[in-house]
């Protein structure tokens, strides 16, 4: 598609981020060099903050323990490719249900289909009611 990447994961310790630059300031700077921003950030809600301040589209590639919608889309696509359908399935989410952002995002997507969801995890990793 002709795109290229401007990674900022390497060298962040030498950037203005390490000097206290805010996420909105970083986003406003990055969008001067890009048509789309794909953001993976350790803080929950960071993609929503970035989207609020950006004039360019922001794609959430994971925000802390919050969401990971790009992975969820890939998971949904894989289920569809492998099984041929989404509707009528029973899907088990196993593991870290409290902090597993892929679980959160895939659950949100699957709620749009006729599926049964089952959740299995150790007590310490269960979501709060």
The backbone torsions φ and ψ at residue 102, rounded to the nearest 5 degrees and listed phi first, read -65, -35
Roughly how many angstroms between the first and final C-alpha of the chain, as a whole number?
Answer: 44
DSSP 21: -
CA 86 – CA 10 distance, rounded (Å):
39
CA 56 – CA 31 distance, rounded (Å):
6
Among the ranges 43-52, 62-71, 72-81, which has the highest mean pLDDT value? 72-81
User: What are the structure tokens assigned to 2, written together?
Assistant: 């002709």
The model's pTM is: 0.68
Q: What per-residue confidence (pLDDT) applies to 16? A: 63
Determine the average pLDDT of the residues in 48-67: 89
Q: What is the pLDDT of residues 76-107, one digit of tens each?
A: 999 999 999 999 999 999 988 888 888 889 99
CA 19 – CA 45 distance, rounded (Å):
22
Indicate the CATH number of 69-125 among 3.40.50.1370, 3.40.109.10, 1.10.1670.10, 3.40.640.10.
3.40.50.1370
Residue 52 has pLDDT above 90, yes or no: yes
Mean pLDDT taken over the chain: 86
Q: What per-residue confidence (pLDDT) applies to 21? A: 77
Beta-bridge partners for 39: 60
Query: Could you tell me where the DSSP H helices lie in 54-100?
Result: 69-83
Q: What per-residue confidence (pLDDT) applies to 125? A: 82
Domain boundaries, the chain: 12-63, 69-125
């Amino acid at each position: 598609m002709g795109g290229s990447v401007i990674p900022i994961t390497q060298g962040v310790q030498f950037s203005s981020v390490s000097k206290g630059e805010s996420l909105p300031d970083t986003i406003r700077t990055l969008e001067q060099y890009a048509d789309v921003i794909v953001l993976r950030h350790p803080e929950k809600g960071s993609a929503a903050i970035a989207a609020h301040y950006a004039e360019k589209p922001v794609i959430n590639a994971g925000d802390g323990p919050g969401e990971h919608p790009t992975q969820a889309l890939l998971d949904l696509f894989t289920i569809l490719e492998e099984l041929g359908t989404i509707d009528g399935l029973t899907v088990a989410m196993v593991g870290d249900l409290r902090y597993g952002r892929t679980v959160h995002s895939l659950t949100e997507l699957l709620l749009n289909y006729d599926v049964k969801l089952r959740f299995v995890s150790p007590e310490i990793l269960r979501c709060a009611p």
